[in-house]
Amino acid sequence: MQSLTIAEEREPALADLAESALERARAAGAGQAEVGVSEDRGLSVTARMRDIETIEFQEDRSFGITVYIDQCKGSATTSDFGAEAIAEAVDKAVYIARQTSPDPCAGLADASRMATSFPDLGLDHDWDIDMDAVQALALETEAAALDHDARISNSEGATTNLHRGLSLYANSHGFQGTQRRSRYSLSCAVIAGDGDAMQRDYHYTSDRSPDQLETPVSVGGLAAQRAVARLEPRKIETQSAPVVYRADVARGLFGHLLSAVSGSAQYRKASFLLDAVGQAVLPKNISILERPFLEGAAGSTAFDAEGVATRERDIVGKGELQGYILSTYSARRLGLETTGNAGGVHNAIVSSTAGDLDAILAQMGTGLLVTELMGQGVNTVTGDYSRGAAGFWVENGALAYPVAEITIAANLADVYRNIVAVGSDVDARGSLQSGSVLVSEMRIAGA
């Protein structure tokens, strides 16, 4: 099998490429410049209906440069690492900068903000596996789903995915930071039922280390279990009732909050949480903690996309918004300092206040468990929220029957204030992590 390992000697090669580009930019009159270079390799194998359907190798590379000339910005990219192509990209960035209007907020982050410590965060892991074994994992995952229940009638496939990457960021402050990252996953999606009564569901496991992945039997079995559980869904009458967001769905709920407190939303005045620092945005027993140094976590990093050192902080502490999510540019637009969040949050973790999903459902008693959301009905300017949903009606803390073709609606500010509990069943597969969430009341539109 073609190796996914990116050789150690590529690091100094990328560093030399970045430095030569920065030198050319300086010589062309750029007062400041920054370069991002990356190389990525991947393998994806999909099995469908007990046979290998696709095998895909990916090998990508990218070079990007941004220059600043008297606070005028120009950028250019290329996938060609040849000397002539790099020189052309630099020259194009300089040309573009000379055609644009100055922006007083443009430019690199302050040199004093650059990261100086680069701890090993366990972000890159090798997987000594051959092609036959990769295929076998996909086949075993799908077989676990197909054999789980006779009502599994079709499959969208099971996929084994392997990815490793090397990236480097450098700028004219003299900063240079390199990161190696790996990501492995198993996924499966199947269909239960027959004819018009079919229902689809899926499950996946993902981690930087292959040793931390769930087993094929677990992934395929849960995908099948979920699909079968959705058979013969009912409609429910329009009403107001408590709602539980399962952990994987709850991440999106808090994602809207983080978007609303991002610097770009604040300076554009496009947020329902405008100027909300110091205000209560969640109940007092809930915090959102940013923890960028967690070993092996999806969002861990010592520096952001501008080379700024990351740091631990509470975005929301005891319900109160402590600060915005800022890049250098958005911070300058607001008259503030960067929070080291160019490129997004680095492991935003919603604190748990209760037990697992079963405990959350028992606490709710009767209401709706949401396992899937559809549509884009979220207005982060007003906070209006209306999403198509599917899941289960819950009675006496237990799943009663599946429901579909419903809509849940509220204003997000009210949703956040009405959160009763956050579960301990944290979904840690992304850079935003949350357990299941119980909201005391939302409007549910049904039949």
CA distance 96 to 27: 16
Q: Would you tell me how many other CB atoms lie within 10 Å of the CB of residue 37?
A: 24
Q: Is residue 264 part of a domain?
A: no
Transcribe 398-441 into DSSP letters: EEEEEEEEEEEEEEHHHHHHTEEEE-S--B-SSSEEB--EEEEE
Residues 111 and 243 in one domain: no
1 found inside a domain = no
Average pLDDT score over the chain: 96
For position 127, which CATH number holds? 3.30.2290.10
Are residues 54 and 171 both part of a single domain?
yes
* One domain for residues 243 and 161: no
3-state secondary structure (DSSP) of residue 447: coil
431 belongs to a structural domain? yes
203 & 79 share domain: yes
pLDDT at 9: 82
Residues 171 and 203 reside in one and the same domain = yes
Q: Which of 242, 250, 326 is nearest to 286 (CA)?
A: 250
| 318 within domain boundaries | no
d(CA 137, CA 215) in angstroms, rounded, equals 9
Whole-model pTM: value is 0.94
| Residue (of 122, 123, 120) closest to 181 by Cα position | 123
User: For the chain, first and last CA: distance in Å?
Assistant: 54
Q: Give the strands of the sheet with 199-207, arranged side by side.
A: 72-78, 51-69, 32-48, 152-171, 176-192, 199-207
Residue 2 has pLDDT above 70, yes or no: no
Residue 367: domain span: 233-252+352-445
Q: Are residues 111 and 159 in the same domain?
A: yes
Per-residue burial over 166-199, b if 16 or more Cβ lie within 10 Å, else e, is bbbbbbbbebbbbbbbbbbbbbbbbbbbeeeeeb
Verify that 204 and 240 share a domain, yes or no: no
Is residue 114 situated within a structural domain?
yes
Helix or strand or coil: residue 24? helix
What average pLDDT does the segment 72-96 reach?
A: 97
Instruction: Specify the number of domains making up the chain.
Output: 2
Q: Looking at the structure, do residues 128 and 81 belong to the same domain, yes or no?
A: yes
The predicted model gives 76-104 an average pLDDT of 97
- State whether residue 41 is helix, strand or coil: strand
3-state secondary structure of 280: strand
> Is residue 140 situated within a structural domain?
yes
122 within some domain:
yes
How far apart are the C-alpha atoms of 281 and 261, rounded to whole Å? Answer: 11
Summarize pLDDT for 303-352 with one digit per residue, the tens. 999 999 999 999 999 999 999 999 999 999 999 999 999 999 999 999 99
Is 59 in the same domain as 105?
A: yes
